[in-house]
């Protein structure tokens, strides 16, 4: 018997291992398995909220700053090699900052697609499901739009927009390698999502997306495509909704923002400050940092300073004047935390004004829109456009105010590219609007034989 | 007078003694147990083989027993006359050469004869013969095929240990450490790489407690550990009482620590001169704008030597006291130890205090209980190093033109100031650890043993950080006090039955079978306070804002069996099978089977070899087996899970989000391993040698791949790679001289490993995710390939660096698309040479370790020898050899303030200019000792006493221009640890130590 004890033990063991597989299914603590995570419609609401959360993390200044550094609004970044690469238009596929920002919208898109693909897990009213989907698709469109603007040549770069865009993820693809969609496919998908969102979103939705958010996004996308009639139409719809009124010159603040059409919010409670403006404060802030990373360019400062009564001049301050280290500090973001008006009334007014000018339609309305912005900036009508202003004058006024109003919002470089595709002769800090370095490089982990990288070689 | 009388009286009864010398055929034999049966008296022979036992009764029949592992026990009957001192000289005979030495093999022991695998045994002395930051470092150079790369000069720094190459990428490549049967918690990433150091879970083990270390290298040996043995197993056995009467040991050592090399950074004036040259080279005019907004005139008046400010001569001290005894009824060992280990980095020290109690008690003749209990406290006073501060800052962004303090006495804050950081920040980790177990051994019938072991490895790591407002430059609070507590409970229990079946005169069968179950649970919490005003260890009542970490738990269960069959004491066959189940896999892949089969043939037992004049021993062995690896950590990677954040969320509302991309088909990483070896003894074992070959083919190797951005997740853990390793090892030990008064032995070992990745499932070189990414996974190349743009030369006309593009054509543009496999961190060969010389009571030993071939990547030199730009690094004097005017042929390009001169947009570019040959030889240890002669020892009432001097890392021979050719930087994760040894990034070099020690036993 004793000889066979070990063998008996082995046999017992094998039975033990195979029959007690459950013993080795250790339910993780502190996290939820899918069957526990998605049980009620409210769970989907939380997933959706996490998509907004991600959006707030790339709209906290990160996506805006990559655009802004590429433009002529800023001087060379200090003490930040990654941003300096962007400024030098030599982004390589190891750039941790650009790679990090690139991943964020897709993180949100994964969750949106996951949510849409799993609606079947829970019973909920059709209307509620449609609202969830509409909010998701609104955010998906914004995410795709932000990526396509930075990582691909602009809409209109080729006449049929068959040039390589980005990956449009309308469904999750796991670990499968995918090809780049064309820019045309990209804009088509973005518009599809926004139309759906416009049709199914409510008119009010707290701090979340509304049908006006979708319309404002449509105006912005169409404007970027140089489709002025649609841009003017949707911008007009938002302006005339009566839901939004202009703020003062500073619309970056905590609490409600009356001109915010879609905002990503920083929240303050007595116990918690949930700030979502870190990349603005971290890079521009000049009251607690003698050497801010990002500073306005001299050229931009001079543009603002040529109208000394412009109250927006107070957002800028020349430091170390006359020294080799002289620079233009930005004071606009000298605060701890604020919400970000991603889509706002000022932009809608300027889109509509410029679009009307481009279309030579309703010029008095266009003049009125610009003058509202100017009166806010100057405190009086001293800089107003005359009623006799020509379409060209209106367009140029809109562009000037747009550049000043939307400083640091990442608009300038896309505006220049848009105008480049229209055939205007555009150079940005000495380089053509469509040179390779104007487009960021994809992360090294994305580029392979299936997914081609952008051409390198900067803009020299 | 009374005293004299008493002396006379007592000596009248117990004045009798025995003494003499014990030797074997090659000379004096130290360490032999001498026991006079029935009296409880005994001794251990000293260095020259002498022994003496006093106080024996007269006119009594006694038996003296001489015993020593590996030798035949001798017995001598005596009957002493009153006052007699009898001299008995003994020559001990080895027991059938060294074949009956007992070797720990996992769930039991085997006679050396029966071992069919590759096992290296190191004794206590080899582990404690020199001061090291952690016990495993002392193994370096002493075991063939075991590569040990010592981490850095930080106190308590760990090493990277690789047995027979590296077969894992994103799974742990470390061997399994088993202490007295307990697979211990060995996670190097509990604290990430905070402050540029990985927490070393092995640093708490007291080397003084270690009796022996067995390193299992091949499938035959590791097979019994199944899925966990793929990277080798290191078995640690702690001391137990072994002398018939009480033996006390006391040892102490004091020493100093200094760096093996000092960085050659620029002085203030040198920096300004070079900076100005760069400024002028770029065509800029006027006064150069310096980093940190420092004015040129001010900079000229400052010359801070930051290296001097952050290093010192560290002081080391160690005290170890133990007592032990073994009788028929019980055995007992108790040890207490303190090790105070200052590094040469100012403010950094690791203090370890430990207590150990090991004992056994025979409850009945059939039932024995034994226990190992240890309690250890390790306190690490941390400093920021590497990229985080300290010496790393002195080698990088702390410029010599920055002062330590402003004229008003306040700290300078305009740029990096490592002194300010060190002096203001308080940082301490305290690890409480207990590795303990209880064993019940039941012997119900002859040769049948049943063992039940229950073990518990408890780890409680508390990290306290305090940063005062003055450091944080804030005014709204006193400072930030943080505490992070990590608790790991590791339970393990196993039941084994062993039967030694003597089938008949010729055949023996040893059968062992067992069951094992292990559960590891991890949890912890953090605390935060802005009002405590001190680190929490000084302000315990201020613990506030508690948050619990997500707990993790994993389970592991096994059933295993080993059958060892011996025929005529010369043919051995062994079969092992182990089935493991792990909670880290889904239901379909949960159980893995890991069999191995092996055989040995002791050729020298054959009749035809009996009278061979040269070869007195020869054994041939071979094995084949399958081993595996489970994913690291305790989290499920096979199924998706979701996190919920209701505290912050977004917009004041909770958020719910997926945490990982599930992989339901995740399965064991498996290695098929073939080994063959031959052991020989020549000229009556004057020379012993062993040659081994291994081939290891690892499939389903884990890769934590970087997913493309559009996948929505950063990475994915999957079985994606195939790696093969093969290698050869050669060990030779020679007793060059073996005379009574003079002996000299030499041990030499060398190992070569070939390693190649043969499949990465179509992913590119950027596939492997995370970490410092210093090396790449490249198809057709070894693990840890330096994948770099090739630097060609400095253009004599322009001074610009010339690179080679992918086709080998010269270009001024640095483009990462031009990277090629340019080097490898794995060496061609590694090894060590130990020489031990004894002359009378003096001994001298020295150990050289060496590495031949392979590369070291001096990652920080891309900045230390690169551009002078606004984020300001100090540079090294190597850069004096630079291009200055057309026609210059120089090592380094023209100085510049912008990376564009070097054909790039960033100063952080990797090229082969920073890749160096990693070959080196190092005098790892030199020890000179003197053992007190027996006469003198007796006068001092001690059994043995030895005083010695030992120095470590005294000499290094290398062509590497950086600080230390043997280095392991801080790692981000397991993958990094496998791939990026021999990369240095501001890593503090190893320490050089000088020590004086005393060992006394009484």
What is the interface pTM, i.e. ipTM, of the complex? Answer: 0.93
pLDDT along chain A (460 residues), means of 10: 61 66 83 91 96 97 98 93 92 92 97 95 94 98 98 97 97 92 98 98 96 98 98 98 95 95 94 92 91 95 96 96 91 95 98 98 97 97 96 98 98 98 96 95 90 84
Query: Which pLDDT value is given to residue B220?
Result: 83
Residues on chain A touching B227 (C-beta within 8 angstroms): none
Chain B residue with CA closest to A107: the answer is B712
Q: Is B710 on the interface with A (CB under 8 A)?
A: yes
Q: Is A79 on the interface with B (CB under 8 A)?
A: yes
Query: Which pLDDT value is given to residue B192?
Result: 83
Nearest residue, CB atoms, A167 vs list B591, B710, B900: B710
Q: Is the pLDDT of residue B19 over 70?
A: yes
Quote the CA–CA distance of B268 and B956 in Å, as a whole number. 30
Structure confidence by residue, pLDDT tens digits, B468-511 = 999 998 888 999 999 999 999 999 999 999 998 888 889 999 99
Structure confidence by residue, pLDDT tens digits, B918-931 = 999 999 999 999 99
SS3 state of residue B98:
coil
What average pLDDT does the segment B321-346 reach? 94
Inter-chain contact A99–B709, Cβ cutoff 8 Å? Answer: yes
Best residue in B296, B519, B708 for a mutation probing chain A (most A CBs within 10 Å): B708
Report how many domains make up chain A.
1
| CA distance to partner chain A, nearest, from residue B909 (Å) | 10
Nearest residue, CB atoms, B658 vs list A36, A109, A114: A114
Residues on chain B touching A448 (C-beta within 8 angstroms): 764
Q: Is the pLDDT of residue B170 over 90?
A: no
Q: Is A171 on the interface with B (CB under 8 A)?
A: no
- DSSP letter assigned to residue B911: B
Best residue in A82, A83, A90, A288 for a mutation probing chain B (most B CBs within 10 Å): A90
Where is average pLDDT lowest: A420-429, B286-295, B529-538?
B286-295
Instruction: Using DSSP bridges, classify how beta strands B90-91 and B16-24 pair: parallel, antiparallel or unpaired.
Output: parallel
Assign 3-state DSSP to chain B and report helix, strand, coil percentages, each to 5: 15, 50, 40
| CA distance to partner chain A, nearest, from residue B217 (Å) | 25
B205 or B273: whose pLDDT is higher? B273
What is the separation, in whole angstroms, between the first and last Cα of chain B?
29
Ordered by where they begin, the domains of chain B are 2-91 (2.60.40.10), 103-262+308-784+825-859+910-1001 (2.40.170.20)
Kindly give, in sequence order, each residue whose CB lies less than 8 Å from that of residue A302, ignoring residues fewer than 6 positions away. Answer: none
Q: Is the pLDDT of residue B279 over 70?
A: yes
Query: Which pLDDT value is given to residue A6?
Result: 59
- DSSP letter assigned to residue B828: S
Q: Is the pLDDT of residue B781 over 80?
A: yes
Structure confidence by residue, pLDDT tens digits, B621-674 = 999 999 988 898 888 889 989 999 988 899 999 999 999 899 999 999 999 999
Greatest distance between any 2 Cα atoms in chain B: 105
Q: Is the pLDDT of residue B95 over 80?
A: no
Asked whether residue A189 is domain-assigned, the answer is yes
Asked whether residue A56 is domain-assigned, the answer is yes
Asked whether residue A308 is domain-assigned, the answer is no
Inter-chain contact B905–A91, Cβ cutoff 8 Å? Answer: yes
What average pLDDT does the segment B796-818 reach? 94
| A and B: number of Cβ contacts within 8 A | 262
Kindly give, in sequence order, each residue whose CB lies less than 8 Å from that of residue A82, ignoring residues fewer than 6 positions away. Answer: A95, A96, A97, A98, B906
Q: Is the pLDDT of residue B74 over 60?
A: yes
Asked whether residue A367 is domain-assigned, the answer is yes
CATH number at residue A153: 1.25.40.390
What average pLDDT does the segment B713-739 reach? 93
Structure confidence by residue, pLDDT tens digits, B43-61 = 888 878 889 888 888 888 8
SS3 state of residue A458:
coil
Structure confidence by residue, pLDDT tens digits, B250-259 = 999 999 999 9
Query: Which pLDDT value is given to residue B118?
Result: 85
Nearest to A5 by CA among B223, B518, B558, B515: B515
SS3 state of residue B877:
helix
Asked whether residue A165 is domain-assigned, the answer is yes
Best residue in A22, A41, A50 for a mutation probing chain B (most B CBs within 10 Å): A50
Chain A residue with CA closest to B662: the answer is A174
Inter-chain contact A46–B654, Cβ cutoff 8 Å? Answer: yes
Residue given tokens 């070393």 in the structure block: B200
Query: Which pLDDT value is given to residue B937?
Result: 82
Residues on chain B touching A114 (C-beta within 8 angstroms): 658
Inter-chain contact A9–B495, Cβ cutoff 8 Å? Answer: yes
Q: Is A1 on the interface with B (CB under 8 A)?
A: no
What is the domain range of residue A367?
41-261+338-418
Query: Which pLDDT value is given to residue B30?
Result: 81
Instruction: Using DSSP bridges, classify how beta strands B479-502 and B448-468 pair: parallel, antiparallel or unpaired.
Output: antiparallel
Quote the CA–CA distance of B670 and B743 in Å, as a whole number. 47
Query: Which pLDDT value is given to residue A13?
Result: 66
Backbone CA torsion sign across A150, A152, A157, A162:
negative
How many helical (H) and strand (E) elements, i.e. helices and strands, does chain B have? 12, 51
pLDDT tier for residue B770 given thresholds of 50, 70 and 90: low
Nearest residue, CB atoms, B293 vs list A89, A290, A446: A290
Query: Which pLDDT value is given to residue B3?
Result: 41
Query: Which pLDDT value is given to residue A429?
Result: 95
Asked whether residue A288 is domain-assigned, the answer is no
Quote the CA–CA distance of A426 and A421 in Å, as a whole number. 9
Quote the CA–CA distance of A190 and A165 in Å, as a whole number. 12
Q: Write b or e for each residue in B140-174: b if 16 or more Cβ atoms lie within 10 A of its Cβ, otherwise e.
A: bbbbbbbbbbbbbbbbbbbbbbbbbbbbbbbbbbb
Asked whether residue A222 is domain-assigned, the answer is yes
Q: Is B297 on the interface with A (CB under 8 A)?
A: no
Structure confidence by residue, pLDDT tens digits, B697-706 = 999 999 988 8
Query: Which pLDDT value is given to residue B8?
Result: 38
Check if the beta carbon of residue B505 is closer than 8 Å to that of residue B522: no
Q: Is the pLDDT of residue B973 over 90?
A: no
Check if the beta carbon of residue B184 is closer than 8 Å to that of residue B435: yes
Backbone CA torsion sign across A27, A28, A34, A37:
positive
Kindly give, in sequence order, each residue whose CB lies less than 8 Å from that of residue B300, ignoring residues fewer than 6 positions away. Answer: B268, B269, B272
Kindly give, in sequence order, each residue whose CB lies less than 8 Å from that of residue B775, ignoring residues fewer than 6 positions away. Answer: B784, B785, B786, B787, B824, B825, B857, B979, B980, B983
| CA distance to partner chain A, nearest, from residue B897 (Å) | 13
Mean pLDDT of chain B: 90
pLDDT tier for residue B313 given thresholds of 50, 70 and 90: very high
Nearest residue, CB atoms, A456 vs list B289, B561, B815: B815
Asked whether residue A327 is domain-assigned, the answer is no
E runs forming strands in B583-714 = 591-602, 615-629, 641-650, 653-658, 669-682, 687-706
Kindly give, in sequence order, each residue whose CB lies less than 8 Å from that of residue A387, ignoring residues fewer than 6 positions away. Answer: A364, A367
Residues on chain A touching B766 (C-beta within 8 angstroms): 93, 443-445, 447
Residues on chain A touching B513 (C-beta within 8 angstroms): 5-7, 9-10, 13
Tell me the residues of chain A between 181 and 240 that have a Cβ less than 8 Å away from chain B: 206-208
């Amino acid at each position: 018997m004793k000889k066979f004890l070990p063998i008996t033990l082995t046999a017992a063991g094998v039975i033990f291992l195979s029959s007690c597989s459950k013993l080795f299914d250790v339910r993780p603590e502190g996290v939820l398995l899918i069957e526990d995570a998605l049980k009620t419609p409210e769970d989907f609401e939380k997933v959706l909220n996490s998509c907004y959360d991600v959006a707030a993390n790339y709209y906290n200044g990160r996506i805006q700053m990559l655009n802004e550094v590429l433009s002529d609004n800023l001087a060379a970044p200090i003490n930040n090699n990654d941003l300096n690469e962007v400024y030098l238009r030599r982004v390589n596929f190891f750039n941790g900052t650009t790679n990090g920002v690139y991943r964020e919208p897709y993180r949100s898109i994964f969750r949106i697609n996951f949510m849409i693909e799993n609606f079947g897990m829970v019973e909920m009213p059709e209307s509620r499901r449609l609202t969830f989907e509409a909010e998701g698709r609104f955010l998906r469109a914004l995410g795709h739009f932000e990526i396509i603007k930075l990582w691909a040549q602009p809409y209109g770069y080729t006449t049929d927009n068959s040039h390589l865009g980005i990956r449009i993820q309308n469904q999750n693809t796991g670990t499968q390698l995918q090809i780049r969609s064309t820019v045309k496919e990209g804009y088509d998908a973005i518009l599809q999502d926004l139309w759906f969102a416009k049709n199914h979103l409510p008119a009010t939705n707290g701090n979340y997306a509304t049908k006006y958010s979708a319309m404002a996004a449509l105006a912005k996308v169409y404007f970027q495509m140089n489709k002025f009639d649609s841009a003017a139409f949707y911008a007009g719809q938002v302006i005339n909704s009566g839901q939004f009124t202009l703020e003062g010159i500073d619309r970056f603040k905590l609490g409600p923002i009356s001109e915010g059409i879609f905002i990503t919010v920083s929240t303050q409670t007595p116990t918690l400050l949930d700030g979502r403006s870190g990349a603005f404060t971290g890079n521009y802030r000049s009251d607690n940092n003698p050497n801010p990373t990002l500073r306005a360019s001299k050229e931009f400062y001079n543009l603002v300073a040529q109208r000394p009564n412009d109250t927006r001049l107070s957002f800028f301050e020349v430091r170390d004047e006359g020294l080799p280290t002289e620079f233009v500090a930005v004071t606009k973001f000298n605060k701890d935390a604020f919400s970000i008006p991603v889509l706002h009334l000022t932009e809608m007014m300027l889109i509509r004004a410029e679009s009307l000018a481009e279309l030579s339609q309703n010029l008095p309305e266009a003049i009125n829109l610009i003058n509202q912005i100017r009166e806010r900036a100057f405190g009086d009508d001293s800089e107003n456009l005359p009623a006799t202003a020509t379409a060209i004058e209106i367009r140029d006024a809109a562009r000037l105010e747009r550049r000043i109003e939307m400083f640091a919002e990442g608009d300038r470089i896309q505006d220049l590219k848009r105008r480049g595709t229209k055939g205007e002769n555009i150079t940005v800090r000495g380089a053509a609007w469509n040179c390779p370095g104007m487009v960021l490089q994809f992360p090294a982990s994305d580029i392979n034989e299936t997914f081609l990288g952008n051409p390198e070689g900067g803009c020299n | 007078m009374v005293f004299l009388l008493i002396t006379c009286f007592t000596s009248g009864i117990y004045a009798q003694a025995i003494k003499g010398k014990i030797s074997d055929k090659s000379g004096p034999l130290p360490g032999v147990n001498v026991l006079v049966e029935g009296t409880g008296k005994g001794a251990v022979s000293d260095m020259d083989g002498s022994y003496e036992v006093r106080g024996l009764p007269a006119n009594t029949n006694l038996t003296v027993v001489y015993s020593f592992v590996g030798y035949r026990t001798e017995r001598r009957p005596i009957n002493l006359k009153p006052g007699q001192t009898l001299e008995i000289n003994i020559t001990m005979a080895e027991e059938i050469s060294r074949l009956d030495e007992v070797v720990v093999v996992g769930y039991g022991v085997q006679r050396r004869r029966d071992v069919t695998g590759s096992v290296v045994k190191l004794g206590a002395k080899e582990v404690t013969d020199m001061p090291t930051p952690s016990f495993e470092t002392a193994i370096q150079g002493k075991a063939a095929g075991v590569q040990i790369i010592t981490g850095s000069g930080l106190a308590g720094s760990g090493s990277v240990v690789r047995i027979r190459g590296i077969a894992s990428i994103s799974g742990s490549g470390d061997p399994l450490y088993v202490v007295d049967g307990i697979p211990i918690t060995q996670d190097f990433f509990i604290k990430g790489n905070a402050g540029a150091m990985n927490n070393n879970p092995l640093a708490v083990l007291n080397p003084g407690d270690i009796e022996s270390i067995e390193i299992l290298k091949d499938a035959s040996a590791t097979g019994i550990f199944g899925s966990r043995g793929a990277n080798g197993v290191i078995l640690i056995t702690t001391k137990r009482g072994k002398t018939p009467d009480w033996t006390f040991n006391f040892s102490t050592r004091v020493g100093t620590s200094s760096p093996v090399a000092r960085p050659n950074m620029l002085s203030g004036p040198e920096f300004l001169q070079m900076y100005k040259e760069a400024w002028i080279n770029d065509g800029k005019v006027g006064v150069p704008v310096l980093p940190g907004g420092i004015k040129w005139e001010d900079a000229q008046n400052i010359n801070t030597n930051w290296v001097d400010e952050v290093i010192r001569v560290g002081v080391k001290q160690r005290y170890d006291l133990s007592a032990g005894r073994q009788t028929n009824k019980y055995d007992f060992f108790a040890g207490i130890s303190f090790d105070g280990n200052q590094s040469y980095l100012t403010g950094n020290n690791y203090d370890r205090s430990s207590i150990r109690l090991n004992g056994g008690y025979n409850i009945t003749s059939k039932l024995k209980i034994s226990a190992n209990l240890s309690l250890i406290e390790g306190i690490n006073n941390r400093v920021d190093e590497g990229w985080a501060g300290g010496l790393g800052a002195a080698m990088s962004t702390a410029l010599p033109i920055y002062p330590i303090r402003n004229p008003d006495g306040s700290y300078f804050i305009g740029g990096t100031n490592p002194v300010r950081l060190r002096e203001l920040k308080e940082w301490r980790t305290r690890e409480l650890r207990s590795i303990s177990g209880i064993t019940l051994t039941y012997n119900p019938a002859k040769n049948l043993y049943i063992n039940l072991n229950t073990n518990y490895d408890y780890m409680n790591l508390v990290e306290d950080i305090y940063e005062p407002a003055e450091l944080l430059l804030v005014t709204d609070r006193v400072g930030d006090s943080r505490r992070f507590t990590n608790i790991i409970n590791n339970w393990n229990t196993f039941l084994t039955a062993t039967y030694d079946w003597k089938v008949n005169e010729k055949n023996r069968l040893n059968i062992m079978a067992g069951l094992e179950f292990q559960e590891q649970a991890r949890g912890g919490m953090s605390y935060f306070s802005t009002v405590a005003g001190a680190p929490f260890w000084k302000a315990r009542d201020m613990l506030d804002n508690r948050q619990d970490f997500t707990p993790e738990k994993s389970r592991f269960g096994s059933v295993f069996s080993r059958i060892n069959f011996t025929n005529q004491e010369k043919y051995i066959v062994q079969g092992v099978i182990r089935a493991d189940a792990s909670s880290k896999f889904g239901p379909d892949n949960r159980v893995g089977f890991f069999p191995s089969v092996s055989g040995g043939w002791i050729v020298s037992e054959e009749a035809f070899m009996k009278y061979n004049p040269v070869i007195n021993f020869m054994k041939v062995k071979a094995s084949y087996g399958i081993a595996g690896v489970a994913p690291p950590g305790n989290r499920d990677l096979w199924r998706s899970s979701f996190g919920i954040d209701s505290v912050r969320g977004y917009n004041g509302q909770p958020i719910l989000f997926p945490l990982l991309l599930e992989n339901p088909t995740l399965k064991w990483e498996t290695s098929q391993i073939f080994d063959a070896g031959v052991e020989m003894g020549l000229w009556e074992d004057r020379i012993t040698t062993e040659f081994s070959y291994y081939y290891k083919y690892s499939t389903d190797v884990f890769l934590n791949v970087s997913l493309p951005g559009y996948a929505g997740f950063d990475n994915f853990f999957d079985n994606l790679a195939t790696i093969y390793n093969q290698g050869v090892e050669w060990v030779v030990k020679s007793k060059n001289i073996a005379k009574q008064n003079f002996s000299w032995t030499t041990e030499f070992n060398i190992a070569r490993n070939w390693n190649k990745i043969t499949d990465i499932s179509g992913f590119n070189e950027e596939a492997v995710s995370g970490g410092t990414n210093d090396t790449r996974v490249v198809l057709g190349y070894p693990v840890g390939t330096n994948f770099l743009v090739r630097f060609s030369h400095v253009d004599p006309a322009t001074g610009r660096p010339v690179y080679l593009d992918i086709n080998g054509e010269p270009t001024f543009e640095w483009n990462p698309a031009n990277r090629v496999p340019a080097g490898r961190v794995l060496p061609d060969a590694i090894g060590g040479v130990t020489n031990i010389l004894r002359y009378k009571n003096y001994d001298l030993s020295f150990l050289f370790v060496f590495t031949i071939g392979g590369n070291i990547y001096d990652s920080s030199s891309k900045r230390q020898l690169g551009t002078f730009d606004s984020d300001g690094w100090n540079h090294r004097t190597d850069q004096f050899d630079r291009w200055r005017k057309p026609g210059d042929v120089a090592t380094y390009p023209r100085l510049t303030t912008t990376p564009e001169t070097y054909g790039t947009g960033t100063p952080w570019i990797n090229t082969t200019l920073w890749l160096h040959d990693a070959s080196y030889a190092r005098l790892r240890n030199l020890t000179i000792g003197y053992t007190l002669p027996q006469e003198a020892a007796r006068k001092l009432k001690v059994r043995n006493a030895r005083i010695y001097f030992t120095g470590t890392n005294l000499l290094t021979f290398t062509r590497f221009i950086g600080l230390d050719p043997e280095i392991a930087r801080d790692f981000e994760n397991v993958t990094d640890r496998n791939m990026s040894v021999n990369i240095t990034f501001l890593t503090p070099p190893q320490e050089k130590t000088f020590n004086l020690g005393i060992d006394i036993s009484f």
